[in-house]
Structure 1
Amino acid sequence: MNALRGQAMTGRERRGQAPDDPAALRRGLTPAQLRALETLEHFRWTLKFVRRPMFQDPVPVVFDRDGQRYAVLRGDGTLDESPGFRIRD
């Protein structure tokens, strides 16, 4: 196997990496999502990552203060605690 090819494959893995710039996570979120996120942060919820499916709006995923529950911030700023996907451990 080509060493460069192996590096390219491992370089594509982004899960588990902390974002370098927290503002980068917020980039592309709607004003309603940003307002909702600000409110959630008062209750110690945290924006952990943003799924960015091709040709679709970003899907921000927030976790509660204990890291036990997660939810998705919809484009209108509402919180969806049953988003239809599971988070891998």
Structure 2
Amino acid sequence: MYGNASVLIMGEAKRRKNLGISPREKTQDIKLPQLDKKAIQQKVRTTLYKYPIIPFLFYAAAILILIGGLFYVFKSFNIA
């Protein structure tokens, strides 16, 4: 019984060696791209200076989403 267990618990490297398959190629580490924080800040600032209404639109959308969420909670739980 224990003789078969060693075959079942064999690692991938030993299995590949026994089958005559070449070792698995090592994968390259994927590195995250480096972001230029100053350039991104400059683009955001120029966009906000060009379109000063954008912050107000974001605040209005956030308030509408919060009110809609409260309405959904009150309606679904029959609180009011």
TM-score by shorter chain over 0.5: no
Greater strand share, 1 or 2?
A: 1
TM-score by structure 1 length? 0.22
Q: Which has the higher contact order (CA 8 A, sep 6+)?
A: 1
TM-score by structure 2 length? 0.24
